[in-house]
Amino acid sequence: MIDFEGARALVMGLGRFGGGVGAVRYLVERGAEVTVTDLSAANEIAGPAAVVRELGVRAVFGEHRASDFEGLDLLVVNPAVPPDTPLVAHARDHGARITSAIELFLDAVPARVACVTGTQGKSSTCHILAQLLEGTGNRVHLGGNFGGSLLERLGREADEGGIAEGDFVVLELSSYQLEALAAPPPGRDRVEVVAVTNVLADHLERHGSVQAYGAAKRRILELLNEDGSAILPEEGAGAVDWNPARGRRIGRGSREGGAVLSRDDENFRLEDELLGRIADVRLPGAFQLDNVLTALGMARCLGVAGDQLVRALPRVAGLEHRLELLPPVAGRLVHDNGVSTTPDSTLTALESLPAGIVLLCGGRMKRLSYDELFAAAARRGDRVVCFGEAGAELCRGFERAGAEAIDGGDLATATARALDLTSPGSALLFSPACTSFDGFSNFKDRALAFRAALGATAPAMARVR
């Protein structure tokens, strides 16, 4: 473990979800001399900036200055900053150790750790696993890319929310967090199980290719301890043929395909041991079954008995904005799949619902192919309302494929148009398939804006029902 007393540390990028603030507080509490630098103006990240001021930390907002990257002992880099950023190399050349909030946490955490990555389903899998562990009498801490920072729980007493030796930590890890890990990464002795939900095309603007993106995801295997287990998909889209250098590989797939961790029409199993029943899953969307299977397998690898998991599964609930069924609007069914920022995830959600619905999608398009989504909407007879920066381009794509599509303008206007197109008793699916950065800070802010637009439109629709 690093001795931070008197260390000169620079935190590069506060972030908007608390990760940078957690690192700042963690370092300050351990005696480091901390400086913060962030390209955003202080008023653009008002919450984190206020915390930094309260801690009495020197901060530079609106720019990164080369002089701040010299004479450091430690540079803590936000995951949004690419590892090949020149200023990171500048700090390294001047003697700084380069690290991240996740590395700091893994280096010091005393608990038993489970890690999950993947293109789709990693948040849901972490959330399901945490509930299964809690439901079987364990103390659990959920973090990583999930939002917030677990660093601040280190060193606290258990009754203050601190992380103790017998606790479990469930970490969601993004490709950005994984690619920046040291080689070998810290904390490997504490990581007992890792899982990959799938690997599809995403974040090509950062990684450049699907191969480079997959290589970043694959680094999760480096975290596994000697006696650990890696649960990996071996069937269908997103399957991988990786093998961990340490620990054992557990293939996840169908029972008829011979997978070690498998499901059929009725049950989830690890080899021949029953872990749960399909009928007990309360989560919307057939795609969640693989996430449930992964989480059950991880819990079993962490020592939870199969019969305990069978009893715990019916109490597992889903996350917000994951094909979440909202209260009806004038007789219309509304599904919030606001977490979707890729065409693949919207296609998965679309195919979980009956054909002939209204799809509301848009935002800023990624460097990905949308052709399968366009074709699916046309084949199913779905109508599409597009919004945001990508509205016109998405409309042209859907129309070329033979689907009925309109550009609804901004999100609020498009929501009203989509509701108007949806017949009573039919369904509206909000699943953007694009990033939120044309008008929102993140997918959650956009999903909440969608819900606000629903609330504004509902009274008028009720009057004309």
State percent of the chain over pLDDT 70.
Answer: 97
3's tokens:
């001795």
Q: CATH number of the domain at 324-463, out of 3.30.365.10, 3.40.50.300, 3.30.428.10, 3.90.190.20?
A: 3.90.190.20
Q: According to the model, what pLDDT value does residue 18 have?
A: 60
- HSE-CB at 134 with a 13 A cutoff on CA atoms is 14
Are the C-beta atoms of 143 and 169 separated by less than 8 Å? Answer: yes
Tell which residue, 178, 250, 327, 286, has the closest CA to residue 242: 250
Report residue 458's pLDDT band, with 50, 70 and 90 as the boundaries. Answer: confident
DSSP bridge pairs for 276: 268
pLDDT at 118 exceeding the cut of 70: yes
In the chain, the percentage of residues whose pLDDT exceeds 90 is 88
Residue 188, pLDDT above cutoff 90: no
pLDDT one-digit tens code per residue, 36-91: 999 999 998 988 999 999 999 999 999 999 999 999 999 999 999 998 999 999 99
Query: Concatenated DSSP letters for 354-373?
Result: -SS-EEEEESB--SS--HHH
pLDDT of 325 above 80: yes
- Cα(101)–Cα(78) distance, integer angstroms: 7
C-alpha 343/C-alpha 364 separation (Å) is 12
Nearest-5° angle of CA 342, CA 288, CA 298?
Answer: 110
Residue 257, pLDDT score: 75
End-to-end C-alpha distance for the chain, whole angstroms: 64
Measure the CA–CA gap between 196 and 240, rounded to whole angstroms: 9
Residue 464 reports pLDDT greater than 60: no
How far from chain centre, in Å, is Cα 332?
A: 29
The residues near 437 (Cβ < 8 Å, ≥ 6 apart) are 363, 364
Is this structure's pTM higher than 0.85? Answer: yes
- Find the helix or strand (DSSP H, E) in which 38 lies: strand 33-38
Beta strands in 188-339 (DSSP E): 191-196, 229-233, 248-254, 261-263, 267-270, 273-277, 324-329, 332-336
- With a cut of 70, say whether residue 461 has pLDDT above it: no
In 3D, which of 131, 28, 19, 6 has the Cα closest to residue 78?
Answer: 19
Q: What burial class does residue 252 get, using C-beta atoms within 10 Å of its C-beta: 0-12 exposed, 13-18 middle, 19+ buried?
A: buried
| Second-level CATH architecture of 8-99 | 3-Layer(aba) Sandwich (3.40)
Give the CA count within 13 Å in the CB-facing half-sphere of 357: 23
Burial class of 306 by CB neighbour count within 10 A (0 to 12, 13 to 18, 19+) = middle
Task: Give buried/exposed letters for 132-169 (b at 16+ CB in 10 A, else e).
Answer: bbbbbebbbbbbbbbbebbbbbbeeeeeeebbeeebbb
| CB contact burial 375-413 (16+ within 10 A = b; e otherwise) | bbbbebebbbbbbbbbbeebbebbeebebbbbbbbebbe
Determine the pLDDT at residue 462.
56
Q: What is the mean pLDDT of residues 321-334?
A: 96
Per domain, the residue ranges of the chain are: 8-99, 102-315, 324-463
Alpha-carbon span 287 to 263, nearest angstrom:
13
Does residue 465 surpass a pLDDT of 70? no
DSSP-derived 3-state class of residue 438 = coil
pLDDT at residue 11 is higher than 90: yes
pLDDT of residue 190: 94
Taking each helix axis from N to C terminus, what angle separates 371-380 and 391-401, rounded to the nearest 10 degrees? 60
Q: Which residues, 6 or more positions from 189, have their beta carbon under 8 angstroms from its beta carbon?
A: 225
Please check the confidence at residue 463 and state whether its pLDDT lies above 60: no
- pLDDT of 361 reads 98
What per-residue confidence (pLDDT) applies to 145?
A: 84
Determine the CATH number of domain 102-315: 3.40.1190.10
Q: Alpha-carbon distance 91 to 84, whole Å?
A: 12
Contact 32, 9 (CB under 8 A): yes
| Between residues 460 and 309, the one the model is more confident about | 309
Burial of 74 (0-12, 13-18, 19+ CB in 10 A): buried
SS3 110: coil
pLDDT at 336: 98
Are 106 and 64 a contacting pair, CB within 8 Å?
Answer: no
pLDDT tens digits, one per residue of 359-418? 999 999 999 999 999 999 999 999 999 999 999 999 999 999 999 999 999 999 999 999
Whether 324-463 and 8-99 are alike in CATH topology: the answer is: no
